[in-house]
């Protein structure tokens, strides 16, 4: 009996020691993004957190900083490089400023649909682009998703590029997007996302363009009356980590992060797909007029010259690879 109780006492001391070791070793990972805490990104961060905690047995916990609390996407990417935050979910909007090879993904009407985009990003091309990101003082964990972008404004039912002429439209800080909007004769006004709601409210810009999930969860419907389902460009998103964090991690821990990021991306994509139809209905209920009969071929024609803008600057290799899917 005494041997048994000694064994029990020993085991519980051991258990206590393990608990306190775990508590001591627990590390909080701060992740920022610009969208709200009920967005597609947030759904992905939750799945990431759950997976990472599970794989690491609680050694890593996640502190989500949504709604641009840590700044706009460009600011946050810079933050990763200097180590002021650990990870970010960002659209590719500002990414080309750091990794020009990713600009190809921001060309209008490049991807036919979600399956096409996801297939390219999950394949060799997507992996090669993730590797390019790694060469730029950033760590790429996984491609995730923002979604096809649609235009909103309060002035007109936009069905053709001509309908949009002269409108001041906020764009992301992305050369390719700006070139495309210039071809449509709208006035592109680049701006960081956290400034957008107020800019729409105050009329600094007439409209903006974003995926359904963002329009819905960032309450754009409060300040914009009309949604045109232009789907003019697919907006990839990426989960990035700080090289400062990465340097401290073991190989095994790095694998946990990558696996958790993939789980996050999967959850985000599922939410984007869900909202692509259900979100439009919700936006109608919230009072938006939804314009569905878009003359896509007119839009496509109008933005065609932005492809030359791209190839003149960056060559056609990546574009050809995407078009041939090799
Ligand atoms: O990534 O800036 C944008 O319009 C983005 O779509 C938003 O920040 C989510």
Which residue's CA is the nearest one to ligand 1's atom 1? 91
Which residue is listed with tokens 């496509």? 300
Query: Residue 105: which residues within 8 A CB-CB, separation 6 or more?
Result: 92, 121, 129, 234, 236
Q: What is the pLDDT of residues 162-218, one digit of tens each?
A: 999 999 999 999 999 999 999 999 999 999 999 999 999 999 999 999 999 999 999
Rounded to whole angstroms, the Cα distance separating 190 from 177 reads 9
Mean pLDDT of the 92-98 span: 98
- Ligand 1 contact, 91 CB (< 6 A): yes
How high is the pLDDT of residue 323?
A: 95
- Ligand 1 contact, 234 CB (< 6 A): no
Query: Residue 198: which residues within 8 A CB-CB, separation 6 or more?
Result: 204
Helices (H) and strands (E) in the chain, counts: 14, 9
- Ligand 1 contact, 140 CB (< 6 A): no
Mean pLDDT of the 302-318 span: 96
Phi, psi of 185 (to 5 degrees): 60, 25
DSSP H or E run through 145: strand 139-153
This complex has an ipTM of 0.99
Closest ligand 1 atom to residue 237 Cα is: 1
What is the residue-averaged pLDDT of the chain?
Answer: 94
How high is the pLDDT of residue 13?
A: 55
Q: What is the pLDDT of residues 11-57, one digit of tens each?
A: 555 555 555 455 557 999 999 999 999 999 999 999 999 999 999 99
Rounded to whole angstroms, the Cα distance separating 186 from 298 reads 15
- Ligand 1 contact, 235 CB (< 6 A): yes
Q: What is the pLDDT of residues 124-154, one digit of tens each?
A: 999 999 999 999 999 999 999 999 999 999 9
Residues facing 27 on adjacent strands: 60
What length is written for the chain?
A: 326
How high is the pLDDT of residue 16?
A: 53
Model confidence band, residue 245 (pLDDT cutoffs 50, 70, 90) = very high
Model confidence band, residue 325 (pLDDT cutoffs 50, 70, 90) = confident
- DSSP per-residue string spanning 61-97: EEEEE-TTTT--HHHHHHHHHHTSSSEEEEESTTGGG
């Amino acid at each position: 009996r005494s041997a048994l109780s000694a064994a029990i006492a020993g085991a519980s001391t051991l258990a206590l020691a393990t608990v306190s070791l775990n508590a001591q070793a627990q590390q909080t990972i701060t992740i920022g993004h610009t969208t709200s805490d009920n967005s597609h990104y947030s759904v992905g961060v939750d799945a990431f957190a759950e997976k990472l905690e599970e794989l690491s047995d609680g050694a890593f916990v996640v502190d989500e900083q949504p709604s641009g609390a840590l700044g706009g996407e460009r600011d946050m990417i810079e933050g990763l490089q200097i180590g002021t935050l650990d990870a970010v979910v960002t659209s590719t909007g500002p990414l080309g400023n750091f990794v020009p090879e990713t600009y190809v993904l921001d060309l209008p009407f490049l991807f036919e649909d979600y399956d096409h985009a996801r297939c390219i990003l999950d394949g060799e091309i997507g992996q090669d682009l993730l590797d390019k990101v790694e060469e730029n003082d950033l760590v790429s964990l996984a491609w995730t998703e923002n979604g096809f972008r649609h235009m909103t404004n309060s002035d007109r039912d936009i069905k053709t590029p001509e309908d949009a002429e002269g409108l001041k439209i906020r764009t992301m800080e992305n050369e390719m997007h700006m070139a495309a909007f210039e071809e449509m004769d709208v006035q592109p006004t680049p701006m960081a996302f956290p400034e957008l709601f107020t800019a729409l409210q105050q009329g600094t810009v007439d409209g903006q363009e974003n995926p359904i999930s963002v329009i819905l969860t960032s309450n754009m419907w409060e300040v914009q009356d009309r949604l045109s389902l232009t789907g003019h460009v697919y907006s990839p998103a990426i989960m990035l980590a700080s090289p400062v964090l990465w340097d401290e991690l073991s190989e095994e821990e790095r694998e946990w992060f990558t696996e958790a990021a993939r789980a996050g991306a999967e959850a985000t994509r599922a939410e984007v797909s869900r909202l692509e139809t259900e979100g439009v209905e919700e936006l109608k209920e919230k009072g938006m007029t939804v314009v569905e009969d878009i003359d896509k071929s007119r839009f496509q024609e109008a933005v065609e010259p932005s492809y030359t803008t791209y190839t003149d600057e960056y060559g056609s290799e990546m574009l050809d690879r995407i078009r041939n899917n090799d």
